[in-house]
Amino acid sequence: MSATDTPKRSMRTPLGRVRNLGAAHSGTSDFWRQRVTAVAMTLLMIPVLVIIVMLFGRNQAFVAQTLGSLPIAVIMLLFIVASAWHMKIGMQVVIEDYIHNEKLKLVSVMLNNFFSVAVALASIYAILKLSSGV
């Protein structure tokens, strides 16, 4: 018998062992993406803070013009995508940790997806609108 044989007591199929993705069927992809988006936001933090501090207290015309300029719009878009993705994963972890009722958990995870995508798309739409000057 070789070491690659499935132990007698294991409930895992040989294919499952090869894929190694676990019960969530997606392995550690969320863990990895949470860290990728975290590093992205950390790198973007200084330019984003500069932009927001620069716009703080200014009138709408100045804010609209600044947010619509290409480099600033791109920085904001990158930050919005990273943060929406990051917060979707983070909130899902919180939901899965604290909500034990299976149906309520599924609904919460679904609402979390809706919220994260809606906030991201609304923000992205606003930036694109400002960039196109419509």
Partner 1 sequence: MALSIVHRATGIALYVGTLLLAWWLIAAASGPAAYAHVQAFTGSIIGRLILFGYTWALMHHMLSGIRHFVWDLGFGFKANEREALTWGALIGGIVLTVLIWIIAYATGGGR
Q: Name the residues that contact partner 1, by CB under 8 A.
A: 35, 38-39, 41-42, 45, 49, 53-54, 56-57, 59-61, 63-64, 67, 76, 80, 83-84, 87, 90-91, 94, 119, 122-123, 125-127, 129-130
> How far is 76 from 123, CA to CA, in rounded Å?
9
Amino acid at 100: H
CB of 113 to partner 1, least distance (A): 13
| Count of C-beta atoms within a 10 Å radius of residue 129 | 13
CB of 128 to partner 1, least distance (A): 9
CB of 74 to partner 1, least distance (A): 14
Q: How many residues in total does the chain contain? A: 134
> How far is 2 from 13, CA to CA, in rounded Å?
16
What's the DSSP call for residue 12? S
- In the complex with partner 1, which residue's Cβ is closer, 1 or 56? 56
- In the complex with partner 1, which residue's Cβ is closer, 45 or 107? 45
- In the complex with partner 1, which residue's Cβ is closer, 43 or 107? 43
CB 75 within 8 A of CB 48: yes
